[in-house]
Amino acid sequence: MSLIVELDADGPVVRGGAPERPPPKPAVPANDGHGDVRKKTVPVIKPPAGPSASEWEGGKYVSLQEWLDGEGDEGAILLQPADDVRALDGRIGNAALISVDFHRIGDGRGYTHAFLLRNRLNYRGRLRALGAVTADQVFAMARVGFDSFALRADQDANAALAALGTFSVPYQSAPVAGAAAARAAANSAARVRLLERALGAIAARHERAALASSLSAEDLVITDVIARLGLPIDVFTLDTGRLHEETLALIPQIEQRYGLDIAVFRPNESAVAAYVAAHGRDGFYDGVAQRKRCCAVRKVEPLARALAGRDAWISGQRREQAVTRGALAEAEHDAERNMRKYNPLADWAWADVLAYAERFDIPMNALYARGYVSIGCEPCTKAIRPGEDPRAGRWWWENQDSKECGLHTTSLTSR
């Protein structure tokens, strides 16, 4: 192994037999307005496709099957993308290290392995990523539980080290120093205080207010404030039946973390069956009308049930998320449901959400680390590239101005 990068709390630390470091390159923004700068100036850590390694610093790796077959419970396991990590449930023993092999860039299964190991199997030992990983992924990996990253012998350590000197949008903020850092921290703290005050006021004004949570980072920020302040605001979510496993996995995680009960509303089974009979299960790809009908069945109708009897609802929408949200007000009147609707994060930037997530260590959907920014149903959501519009990954086959699901567009007036 030529190079190991430990992802410590203070940032990446290079260990192992790395060759002489090149002169440091000046930091550059990831996007200069003309595309992704990293693709022009910063090499990605890109090895040829294929298995990464057979040894770690303590000896030979064993495969998942060898570990399960073996009698010993010490050593290091090397997981491959197709492995079923759940087979390790109760079988991890005293593993000194679990490494996850990323054979090729774009194969996100290693993230799912990390998510399952950390959140389902409660693995607290060393977790390492190997192989085909881009610069921004190295940092993002820390968020899903990896604590080190290793190149294999045929990878260019110099290129990797140069790449680590850059940062990614939207997952990493630019390094700020001195007064700028203090100003950013003060702004962030002020935003949090305003949010706390806004949610406190909603709770005081309404007896039956609820947060409609899509389990996004934004909604988890609001959930965190509700729980920290003990506000009498209910939290519910809509399980459309087409969500990612990673999204659904957040529900028990949040309930356990905050001691909250999240009410889960599902679509009407006969309405789903009628939609599938008329349009096919994935009929939403055939046109905007079919897509909106699917959203109406799987989202809008369950939302109506969730909001029945309430006097206010809260969403985590932000203005910068989409052109359709550019004029979003912080407080609106939902005329169709005759109740107040609040968007307390309307003027928050994505960086504000990330700053909050980091400061309060809130649970995050593992998909964020795989390039997803706006997360909805699995077949209608994809990862985006740095610098792309945040909603570019939602209903990507449609025009920008049709990208709403009907949850937030019904007869709303500001104030």
CB of 278 to ligand SF4, least distance (A): 13
How many CB atoms lie under 10 A from the CB of residue 129? 27
Q: Which residue, 38 or 291, is less far from ligand SF4 as judged by CB?
A: 291
d(CA 250, CA 173): 25
Nearest to 284 by CA among 298, 271, 270: 298
Q: Are 64 and 83 in contact (CB under 8 A)?
A: yes
Q: Is the dihedral of CA 327, 342, 370, 148 positive or negative?
A: positive
What would you measure as the largest C-alpha separation in the chain, in angstroms? 67
Q: Which residue, 144 or 295, is less far from ligand SF4 as judged by CB?
A: 295
* Residues forming the site for ligand SF4 (CB under 6 A): 240, 242, 284, 291, 294-295, 298-299, 376-377, 379-380, 405
d(CA 116, CA 257): 17
Query: Angle, to 10 degrees, between the axis of helix 288-295 and the axis of helix 269-279?
Result: 170
Q: Which residue, 201 or 289, is less far from ligand SF4 as judged by CB?
A: 289
Strands 331-334 and 339-342: antiparallel
d(CA 220, CA 253): 11
CB of 242 to ligand SF4, least distance (A): 4
Alpha-carbon distance values, 123 to 62, 82, 92, 185, 330 (Å): 18, 19, 8, 33, 41
CB of 384 to ligand SF4, least distance (A): 16
Mark whether 377 is an active-site residue.
no
Q: Which two tokens stand for residue 31?
A: 């996007």
Q: Which residue, 30 or 375, is less far from ligand SF4 as judged by CB?
A: 375
CB of 136 to ligand SF4, least distance (A): 27
Burial class (CB in 10 A: 0-12, 13-18, 19+), 168: buried
d(CA 352, CA 359): 10
* Residue 87, helix vs strand vs coil: helix
Residue 96, H or E segment? strand 94-102
Q: Which residue, 260 or 271, is less far from ligand SF4 as judged by CB?
A: 271
Q: Which residue, 172 or 374, is less far from ligand SF4 as judged by CB?
A: 374
Q: Which residue, 22 or 379, is less far from ligand SF4 as judged by CB?
A: 379
DSSP 125-178: S-EEEEESB-HHHHHHHHHHT--EEEE-TTS-HHHHHHHHTS--TTTSPPP--H
Q: Is the dihedral of CA 306, 308, 314, 318 positive or negative?
A: positive
Nearest residue to ligand SF4 by CB is 377
d(CA 27, CA 168): 11
Q: Which residues are catalytic?
A: 405
